[in-house]
Amino acid sequence: MSYVQGLMLDGRRKSIQPMAGRLEGVHDQALNHFVTNSPWDVTPVRRRLAQRMDAVIGPVAWAVDDTGWLKCGSSSPGVARQYTGTAGKVTNCQIGVSVNLVTDTASCPADWRLFLPASWDPSSPDAGPDTLRRRGRAGIPDEVGHREKWRLALDMIDEMTGWGLRPPLLVADAGYGDAAEFRHGLAERGLSYVVQVSTRVGVYPRGAARTTRPTKAWGSIPNRATGTPLSR
């Protein structure tokens, strides 16, 4: 309770020591132990937050999005060189995927996951020789591996609907809309959605056949994931 109160109170810095200094009768070492070592389940807290904010906000949609936290080192869990809209480029950062309850005037993250790049997954060909050591130092459980952002989004949607919530509409940008599996997953769950798709996504029926010769023209399309152009 004291930790949540510290996050909610006024104050520019939300790290342990400054928060403890603003809380009456709370020692910074006790607060640090709670955050770093105390084994408590976050799910009931997220469920209570989501249910309460759903009642207060009355969302017109659930918005799936991701946010980047810029980093200088390589030890933070999930940190890697990857694209983030926070910086508008590929840079060293962590990525968090969230489902947000939104209206025209309000927004609240109701569920979220830390994205773990393939370079942090020992079973991936992108893993490096120090992956196991980095995972151990970061405290990442053995069963946690790389999972695409759209899969994390579907996991959270399933979790939130399991809490008794239902999205009136689900919206997402092309980072998710371009994944056909994500769109099909929403349709299979009977959810209404509006998602952005890039110019690389075709809209032909499954059985469509080409009736004109392919063009020999060349151009480039920006790749959101890497920031580099792709040849058509």
What pLDDT is stored for residue 51 in this prediction? 97
pLDDT band, very low/low/confident/very high, at 56 (cuts 50, 70, 90): very high
What pLDDT is stored for residue 229 in this prediction? 53
- 16: which residues sit within 8 A by CB, 6+ positions away? 28, 31, 32, 35
- 20: which residues sit within 8 A by CB, 6+ positions away? 6, 26, 27, 28, 31
Of residues 208 and 150, more confidently modeled: 150
DSSP state of 224: T
Mean predicted confidence (pLDDT) in 52-78:
95
Provide the CB-side half-sphere exposure for 33 (13 A, CA): 5
Q: How far is Cα 79 from Cα 68, in angstroms, rounded to an integer?
A: 10
Per-residue pLDDT of 200-216, as tens digits, reads: 887 777 778 878 776 66
Q: Which long-range contacts (CB under 8 A, 24 or more apart) does 101-104 make?
A: 101/50, 101/53, 101/54, 101/57, 101/59, 101/62, 102/57, 102/59, 102/60, 102/61, 102/62, 102/63, 102/171, 103/57, 103/58, 103/59, 103/60, 104/60
Per-residue pLDDT of 89-104, as tens digits, reads: 999 999 999 999 999 9
- 43: which residues sit within 8 A by CB, 6+ positions away? none
- Torsion over CA of 44, 34, 140 and 224, rounded to 10 degrees? 70
Q: How far is Cα 67 from Cα 142, in angstroms, rounded to an integer?
A: 25
pLDDT band, very low/low/confident/very high, at 116 (cuts 50, 70, 90): very high
Domain boundaries, the chain: 1-40, 41-198+219-225
What pLDDT is stored for residue 232 in this prediction? 45
Structure tokens at 165: 């919530």
Radius of gyration from C-alpha coordinates of the chain: 21
pLDDT band, very low/low/confident/very high, at 6 (cuts 50, 70, 90): confident
Q: Which amino acid is at 179?
A: A
Q: How many CB atoms lie within 10 A of CB 59?
A: 21
The architecture in CATH of the region 41-198+219-225 reads 2-Layer Sandwich (3.30)
> DSSP string covering 44-73, please?
HHHHHHHHHHHHHH--SEEEEEEEEEE-SS
